[in-house]
Amino acid sequence: MKGLTVLRTAATLAIVLLAAGAMPVPGADGRSGPRVVVLGFDGADHRLVEEWMDSGDLPNLARLRDTGVYSPLMPTNPPQTPVSWSSFATGLNPGRTEIFDFLKRVEGTYLPDFSMVTPTHRKVGFGRKNPLYLGVGGAAGLGLMVFLMSVFLRARAGRALLAGLIVAAVLAGPGYVVFSRLLPQRTPWAENGRRGRAVWEIMAEAGMKATILRLPVTFPAPDLPGGYMLSGLGVPDMRGGIGTPTVYTTDAGRDPADNEFAIRVVMLDDGTLDEAGAFETDIQGPDNKPFYAYPIKMAGEEIESRTDRRRAERAMRESLDARGVPKILTLPLHISVDKDKATATVTVAGVPLTLEVGQWSEMVPFTFPVNWLVDRVQPVKGAARFHLMSVEPELNLYLAPVNFHPEFHPVPFTYPPSWSEKLEERFGIYKTIGWAIDTWTQSAGLADESLILDDVAYTESHFARMMEALLEESESDLYVQIFTGPDRAAHMLWRLIDTGHPLHDPVRAAELKDALKIVYQQMDQIVGRALELIPEDALFIVCSDHGFASYRRGVNYNTWLVKNGFMNLSVPYYGETKTLEDLFHGGSFFENVDWSRTKAYAMGLGEIYINLEGREPQGIVRPGAEYEQVRDAIISGLEALVDPETGDKPVFKVYKREEMYSEFNAAIVPDLRPANNPNYRVEWQTALGGFTPEVITENDKQWSGDHCSLEPSFVKGILFMNRPVSLDGPRMVDMAPTMLAGVGVDPPPGLDGKSLLPAGSGR
């Protein structure tokens, strides 16, 4: 297996010295290097780590355990990546961080939204008045200059004034048009969804510095006085989502029938061939919000009448379409195939790149044309890797999700913003998207395991190189870096180690029997290299946000609510399959629900909301006794649910929100959370408010391991420390006060976590 070979090589050679002679830089107090170093490995499971430490496959982690301390680590409730890492950063429970799921309900609606980041916009210049002030005003300014110059050249005052007026009049109209069409009035922005003060903010108040790499829920990158930030999960790809891969193919059978993962499949046929025999297609970049979506919205946003507002928006849309303003920015792509040589050549912006079957490109830069002003002042740049999967019997060319290029950061994903370019100068073009390893293409059945194995090897090795150089020279008091390989690999490979999974293939499992272990060995090598680099007296922590379990069968809570009378549909039709494209690009949700007869609905990765009067737009359940009656009835029903195919109970416990969180915003935090037993997970359609005909369905996707909707105690993570301290049931929420204590800062009062270090043990 090529992918397994690449991964094994990467695990062996993951850490390579970047520059000879790099020396640590002493801090202001004479110390050299950080006081506290934390390496986080998303999804590293405590059972697998313990098994492979005992078998000798993870020698560095075993050494850290034997000389320091090790314990399973309790994740948050629910045990989801953004939820757990938000508590890691703040020491607060999810009710207080308000990151309680990947998704959240938009307050006052029934719409799902991404919890980590809220898209917004920023005014450019004078906003709506740009054409007037900059176009007409600029023309008037030029006219004034002509007048003054004429006076200076001793022209008659009347002629000078006339010349100035003529220049102003001639240029005013074109100036207005230029600045209305070439300069946007708004540009995209984003707001971080996490609440609570993070560790680095508390440290900054004490005059200390932090370097944070790839930590989830840190986008847009916050200010770190004297420190550095490279944001992690939450940074979108250029399409604005969690990751949109593209597969260019001549095989009509490759188009997935049930594409829930927003994968773009581009069919190539004779109709797409140019005169030279190359396929003509395109690469999709970002939505053209500044010049398409925003002008349409702005055309009607000051009009009160709904009918008139829609008429104004429609007129603007028709005007933009007539002028050829694109809704999505694209870049021409030409693909020529040489079956005799088993190669394909992709040509982007006139630059050819030839790939052999099985070969990956490096990160290829793209510049998406907008207009001559934007293209010269701030070009829209992205980057991604190509991978040639096959040329016969059919062409299959893969393009990874397009990242924001390090030189293009309209919303900063580093602090300081210029640090992104400095990282590029040292390490080349790097992945900026938060979900940096593609799990979607294989999940949709469009690629085999080699895709993710290659991607894990490349991505982890690249960020390991960053770690080595930055950790070795760090002047910060705290250094934190997160790696995601164990999580992404476990999602896709768990069926190989679970003989009871519906997609377990004994032959394939034998071929790839070491695949997941090799990912963990790469983690072990990263830990080993860090141990060589950190100061002897530094506190070293290795942790993970959750573990894993098998995902054999899915539970659709919306379907259960319908079948048990808590939700009613307008017509007996469950609706279209919901996709991530719907989530990130304005899809419709719950369109068939009769809210006047609905008491509860499910959304997110296992969250149930009561249709509460006064909170929901069409709420019917009265607060107080009726609210509690509905909650109790749902709890009783779900906890008694039995899978008719297996005889097992999918639900371990249904939590009320006040059981999970001591404080929470009642307007947004879900009312109930069903926690699954191992082998069960919330079904994909429930996450987006969708339905399936049956309550419990077999998982027929290669996404076969999970944790998101499980009982937290079933999916514990890992915790290592290089100090032999006593650990009694450590929790993810304890990490923030532990890091603060490690750098010598007293944790602030009111945290939900507690320091795991003895009093006074900070460096």
In whole angstroms, what is the distance from residue 386 CA to residue 266 CA? Answer: 14
Q: CA 546, CA 560: separation in Å to the nearest integer?
A: 28
DSSP string of 689-733?
T---SSSEEE--SS--EE-TTB-GGGS-EEEEESS----SS-BGG
Classify strands 717-721 and 539-543 as parallel, antiparallel or unpaired.
antiparallel
Integer Cα distance of 301 and 456 in angstroms: 45
- Per the omega criterion (within 30 degrees of 0), is the bond before 502 cis? no
Query: Average pLDDT of each block of 10 consecutive residues along the chain (763 residues)?
Result: 51 36 38 86 99 98 97 98 98 97 90 89 68 46 44 46 44 51 82 96 96 98 94 96 94 67 87 84 96 91 90 94 95 95 95 97 96 88 98 96 97 97 97 97 92 97 97 94 98 97 96 97 98 94 98 96 94 61 61 92 94 97 98 98 97 98 95 98 84 92 96 98 91 98 95 90 58
DSSP 748: P
Angle, CA of 96, 98 and 100, to the nearest 5° = 110
Residue 102 · residue 85 · CB < 8 Å: no
Among residues 611, 607, 603, which one has the least CA distance to residue 565?
611
The DSSP bridge partners found for residue 215 are 231
C-alpha 93/C-alpha 660 separation (Å) is 8
Measured CA distances, 508 to 363, 399, 448, 501 (Å): 30, 25, 11, 13
Instruction: Give the span between the Cα atoms of 23 and 31, in whole angstroms.
Output: 13
| Tokens representing residue 208 in the block | 């200390």
Question: Where are the strands (E) in 67-223, listed by range?
Answer: 69-73, 103-105, 112-114, 117-123, 186-192, 210-215
Structure tokens at 409: 């950061």
DSSP string, 407-476: T--SS-SEESTTHHHHHHHHH-S---SSS-S--HHHHTTSS-HHHHHHHHHHHHHHHHHHHHHHHHH---
The tens digit of pLDDT for each residue in 119-132 reads 999 887 655 655 54
Residues 6+ apart with CB under 8 A from 624: none
CA dihedral 307, 309, 315, 321 (to 10 degrees): -120
Direct distance between the N- and C-terminal alpha carbons of the chain, in angstroms, rounded to an integer? 47
Tokens describing residue 614: 């006064």
Cα separation, 215 vs 543, in Å, equals 13
- What residues contact residue 572 under an 8 Å CB cut-off, 6+ apart? none
Cβ neighbours for 349, distance < 8 A, ≥ 6 positions apart: 331, 332, 366, 367
At 177 the pLDDT is 54
- Give the H or E element holding residue 527: helix 515-533
CA distance 222 to 218: 7
Whose tokens are 């049930």? That residue is: 258
Q: Which two tokens stand for residue 465?
A: 């190189």
Tokens of 173: 């109209």
Q: Is 463 left (phi over 0), alpha (psi -120 to 50) or beta?
A: alpha
Helix (DSSP H) and strand (DSSP E) numbers for the chain = 24, 31
Distance in angstroms (rounded) separating the CA atoms of residues 290 and 659:
45
